[in-house]
Amino acid sequence: MKSFTEIDVEDINLSNQFSSFKNIYKIGRKSNIKQWLYAVSIVGIILLFLPWTQNIRAKGNITTLRQEQRLQEVNTVIAGKVLKWYIKEGDFVNVGDTLLQLGETKVEYFDPLLLSRTQQQITAKEKSIESYRSKAATAEKQIEALKEGKNLKLQSLNNKLQQQQLKVEIDSNDLVAAKNEFNISKRQIEAGKTMLDGGAISLVDFEKRKVSFQNIQSKRNGIENKYLQSKQELVGLRIEKNSAIQDYIDKISKTEGEMFTSLSNVASTESEVSKLQNVYASYTARSQYYYIIAPQSGQIIKAKKEGIGEMLKEGETVAEIVPTTSNYAVEMYVEPMNIPLINLGQKVRFVFDGFPAILFSGWPKNSYGTFGGKVVAIESSLASNGKYRILVAEDSTEKRWPKEIRLGCGATGIALLKDVPIYYELWRNINGFPPDYYKPSISSEKDAKANSKDKETSTQNKK
C-alpha cells in the first residue's frame, strides 16, 4: 500500500466520489463569461452615446414671489398696555380681524372726552374767525363811507375854490379899473393945480377936483383891500382843502389798520384752527390704533407678549403672521462660477423635503416625484453667503406643486442645461470643466414673464 506522499492526486478520479468537485471546479464545463462581457461592453458603449442633460444642483427654501406674502411682523403703532387678546398662537385670521386691544399709557391722552373737548376748541376758534371777519367787513364799509365823504368834501371845497377864484379875478379887474381911474384923477388934479396957479380955474373948481381925487383914491384903496382879502380867502380855502384831505387820510388809514388787524387775527386764528384740526385728526387716528388688526389673512405665530397689562413700546412687534397664499417660489443660491449659466425662463426641477422622489439628474423626464419650475428673477449682487440668489416660480405647463408645502421648507433644485452625450459629460467631469453655456429660447423667457404676470394678477384678484 502506497503512502500518502506517494499517491498522485491527479490520477485519482475524485469528481465521481465527491459533489464539491462538481461545484468548485469548472474543468470540462462551458462558460458564458465572454458573452456577458461582450454584451456589457456593447451596452456600455451604447450608453456612452445616450443624451445626458447637464445640470446645476443647489439647495433652496420655499418663499413667495411677492414680498407682502412672506412672513411678516405685526407691530403696534402707539405705545400702550395689553388689555385683551382676541386670538391665540396658531389661529387663522382674516384681513381686518382684531388681534389685540391696547390701553393708553401717556398722561396727555387720559381724558375720556379728549376728542369732544378738542372739537369744542375748534368750534370756538371758528366762531372767533367769523367775528373777526365781520369786524373786517365793517371796517371796510367805514373805509368806503370815508372815501365817499372825502370825495363830497373835496367837491364842495373845489366849488368854493372856483367861486373864490372868480371873485379874486373880479376884484383884480375892479382894482385895475380903480387904478386907471386913480391915475386919471391924479393927472387931472396935477393939471388943475397948474391951471389954478395960472389963474385958468378958480379955487372952487380946484377943490372940487381935489375932493373927486380923494374919493377916487379912497375907492381904489377899498377895492385893493377887497382884492387882497379875496386872495387871502382863496389861500384859506386851499389850506382847508389840504387839511380835509389829511384828516380823511388819517381816518381812512386808522380804519384800514383796524381792518388789517382783524384780517391778521382771522389768519392767525385759522392757523390755530388748522393746528387743532391736525391735533383732532391725530387723536382720532390714535384712537383707531387701540385695536391692532390683521394686515392680511394668515396664521398667527410667535406672540411676543403673553399677559394682560404688559407694556408695549411704539413700533414693537406683537406677533408674526404667515400669510395664506399659494403663490409660492423657491429661493436658491448659486455659485458665482455657475451664475452665467442661469437665465430667465430656464427650467428647474425640484425635490421638496418630505416628498419621496426617484431622481435621475441627467434624465429629468425619467425622474419620479420631481416638480417643474422656471427662473423668474436673478439678483445682481452677492448675498451674505457669497452666492447669488435666484427666484424660481412654478411652471404652469407641468403638474402643480404640492399644496402641503409651507414657507421655509427645503428644496433641492436642479437647473437643466444643455443636452450632451454621456461620454462628453464624463470627459468634462474628469477634466473639471464647467457645464456648457446654455441660453433658453426667447419664447421660454416670454412664457416665464407671462407666467409671473398671470400669477400676480390672480393673486390680486383673490385679494
The full set of domain ranges for the chain reads 52-66+327-462, 72-104+290-321, 114-288
Q: 37, exposed or middle or buried, with CB in 10 Å at 0-12, 13-18, 19+?
A: exposed
pLDDT digits (tens, 9 = 90+) for 53-75: 767 778 888 888 888 888 888 98
Quote the CA–CA distance of 451 and 459 in Å, as a whole number: 12
Is 95 within 8 Å of 107 (Cβ atoms)? Answer: no
Q: What is the pLDDT of residue 342?
A: 81
CA dihedral 19, 20, 26, 28 (to 10 degrees): -30
Is 316 within 8 Å of 75 (Cβ atoms)? Answer: yes
CATH tag for 114-288 (out of 1.25.40, 3.40.50, 1.10.287, 1.10.10) = 1.10.287
Three-class DSSP category at 264: helix
Cell of 143: 373805509
Is 232 within 8 Å of 85 (Cβ atoms)? Answer: no
CATH class of 52-66+327-462: mainly beta
Q: Which residue has the higher pLDDT, 353 or 274?
A: 274
Share of the chain above pLDDT 90, in %: 15
| CATH topology (fold) of 72-104+290-321 | OB fold (Dihydrolipoamide Acetyltransferase, E2P) (2.40.50)
Q: What is the pLDDT of residue 395?
A: 86
Taking Cα atoms as reference points, which of 272, 275, 249, 279 lies closest to residue 132?
Answer: 272
Residue 275 has pLDDT above 90, yes or no: yes
Q: What is the pLDDT of residue 364?
A: 59
Mean pLDDT of the 293-308 span: 86
Three-class DSSP category at 143: helix
Is 227 within 8 Å of 174 (Cβ atoms)? Answer: yes
pLDDT digits (tens, 9 = 90+) for 216-243: 888 888 888 888 888 888 888 889 889 9
Is 213 within 8 Å of 196 (Cβ atoms)? Answer: no
Q: 98, exposed or middle or buried, with CB in 10 Å at 0-12, 13-18, 19+?
A: middle
Quote the CA–CA distance of 245 and 237 in Å, as a whole number: 12
Residue 422 has pLDDT above 70, yes or no: yes
Q: What is the pLDDT of residue 67?
A: 81
Is 84 within 8 Å of 100 (Cβ atoms)? Answer: yes
Which residues on adjacent β-strands are paired with residue 449?
Answer: none
What is the residue type of 4?
F
Which residues on adjacent β-strands are paired with residue 419?
Answer: 53
Q: What is the pLDDT of residue 439?
A: 60
Residue 463 has pLDDT above 50, yes or no: no
The pTM score is 0.54
Characterize the bridge pairing of strands 388-394 and 371-382: antiparallel
| Residue found by looking up cell 389673512 in the block | 297
Residue 80 has pLDDT above 70, yes or no: yes
Quote the CA–CA distance of 398 and 396 in Å, as a whole number: 5
Which residues on adjacent β-strands are paired with residue 378?
Answer: 390
Residue 417 has pLDDT above 80, yes or no: no
**Banded model confidence at residue 120, pLDDT cuts 50, 70, 90:** very high
